Chain A
Amino acid sequence: MLNKFTLTEALEGLKSKKFTSVELVQACLDQIKKLNPKLNAFLAINEKALTEAKNADISKPLGGIPIAVKDNFLTMGMPTTASSKVLEGYLPQYESTVTRKLKDAGAIIIGKTNMDAWAHGSSTETSDFGPTLNPWNTGHLPGGSSGGSAAAVAADMCIAAIGSETAGSIRQPAAWCGVTGFKPTYGRVSRYGVVAMASSTDSPGPITKTVEDAALIAQIIAGHDPYDATSSPSHVPNLAPSTKHLAPLRIGIAKEYLVGQSKSVVLEAAEQFKELGHKVSEISLLDPKYSIGVYTIVQRSEVSSNLARYDGIRFGHDRSFFGDEAKRRIMLGTYALSSGYYDQYYTKAQKVRTLIIKDFEQAFKKFDLIIGPTSPGPALKVGASIDSPMFGELEDMLLEPSSIAGLTSISVPCGFVDGLPIGLQITGPQFAEKLVFQAAFSYQQATTWHVQKPQLS
């Protein structure tokens, strides 16, 4: 049962020689073997994982720890498909900065996880290799696009995982699978070697069993990267949350975000923050419907540009291999950027983006953090995203605003509806990672939602 350990527990166990990395990796591989046929969280398993475990240097920060990585991170020696048949069988020529940093820190990439094809979606149902199912109830979706990573963590198939978020793709699957998902400030973590989706919002980050674990991984993967010109040169402070009592914070809860079945659960979480000594009060933010509009245009436009490179010559197969969702996004983006429509759609969306950023700037003058539901409700049923071209936008409506503004945010489990987990998002200004971790950590110290595990057989 070593696979059930949190990252912090596993590191402690390895360092005090209670068990070895080989035993830890084997426990995860056993769990994958047992559950992957049912959940489809992994697309590929690292065949050298046990050898790497044997040679693991446990003096390193993540020495000997098996970590699952979303399949849009380039990994040398392991196929990288972004869950698209266009890239089926593609072997990367170089390593992404995030996985290089993990490997340098001693981690073992145990396998590559399923996702929405090209990260286009919030269900993992658009994967060309079949959907991932939710460990809490296999009749339900895990969310997405990092659904494989979130399900792998929830089902203890790994100690921690890496996902990437363009607008909700870490936080929403984390919420639906009852785990912790952290979205760094845009530019805090390098995008180098991540299959590009929407380049102005793509943000890699950890999906873990606790906030403490997320901070530990964030510390390792964050920082300036000369290979990503948009990565921030600003110093990364010590992100580890402390058990010291947190000075009272001003926490805003946006009334526009209190929708759906998550509302009552999140209001209870707000009470918890009050009990911890913080001041929680209502604020008004721009209606999320505007973010849906901005995100749809900006994301499709950037997708159409980024996916132009897949011509069957340099990578994988030709353009006839694109699935419906990728085709829709490429075409809508092409339209929004085409002559005669550019100003009407793309420029207009970029202007409204400015308004959304200013809206948050105003809010953060009065508040340290903003909390709200991660998703309007719990995981939807398998099949819910089929033939719903706006599925992701609607499920992620409460996450798009913070992504558009490039803010940092975390989703932590905060309760259940119909036996399915609900996520609470805690959002801070750009580069306020430390405060976000600290607040989320104090919440997990006071609650036990994150310790709940799905019944799996």
Chain B
Amino acid sequence: MDVKHVAKLANLPLKPGEEDKFAKQFADTLKTVDVINELDTSKVEPTSQVTGLTNVTREDKIDKNRIIKVGDYFKVPSIFNAQ
């Protein structure tokens, strides 16, 4: 693993000596992780979450009385207008 490049991607400053130290530790960790390749997953779907819930949304509540129509548009309070 290119530790310097990954540190850059992660926006983490490295102290002197950390590059070598982490490189060795990452190599050990990745070796432990590699066991998952022993399992055949060619016909398995990935799981990203376990809740079984899909498309969790809340109901939009619009107070139609407060909409000020201007032609085909509607007006909202200004955000950036200072005066």
Contacts and interface: CB of A to CB of B under 8 A. Distances in A.
B32 interface: yes
Q: How large is the interface on A (under 10, 10 to 19, 20 to 34, 35 or more residues)?
A: 35 or more
B36 A352 contact: yes
Contacts of A297: 33, 36
A181 B72 CA distance: 59
A230 B38 CA distance: 32
Nearest to B44: A351
Contact of B51 (A187, A296, A327): A187
Interface stretch (B22-30, B62-70, B73-81): B22-30
A331 B21 CA distance: 13
Contact of B32 (A296, A319, A327, A354): A296
B83 interface: no
Interface in B15-52: 18, 22, 25-26, 28-29, 32-39, 41, 44-51
Nearest to A357: B47
> Which of B1, B34, B36, B46 is most buried by chain A, counting CB atoms within 10 A of its CB?
B36
> Which of A232, A331, A430 is most buried by chain B, counting CB atoms within 10 A of its CB?
A331
B36 A331 contact: no
Contact of A393 (B32, B39, B50, B58): B32
Given A293-B33, A327-B22, A338-B9, A405 B39 contact: no
Contact of B12 (A319, A338, A345, A355): A319
Interface in A319-375: 319-320, 322, 327-328, 330-332, 334-335, 338, 345, 347-355, 357
The 6 closest A-B pairs by CB, nearest first: A350-B46, A406-B50, A351-B41, A293-B36, A229-B56, A334-B10
Given A290-B36, A331-B7, 6 more contacts: A327-B12, A331-B6, A331-B10, A349-B36, A351-B45, A352-B36
Interface of B: 1, 3, 6-7, 9-13, 18, 22, 25-26, 28-29, 32-39, 41, 44-51, 53, 56, 58
10 contacts: A230-B56, A290-B36, A293-B32, A304-B10, A328-B26, A331-B7, A348-B37, A351-B46, A351-B47, A354-B41
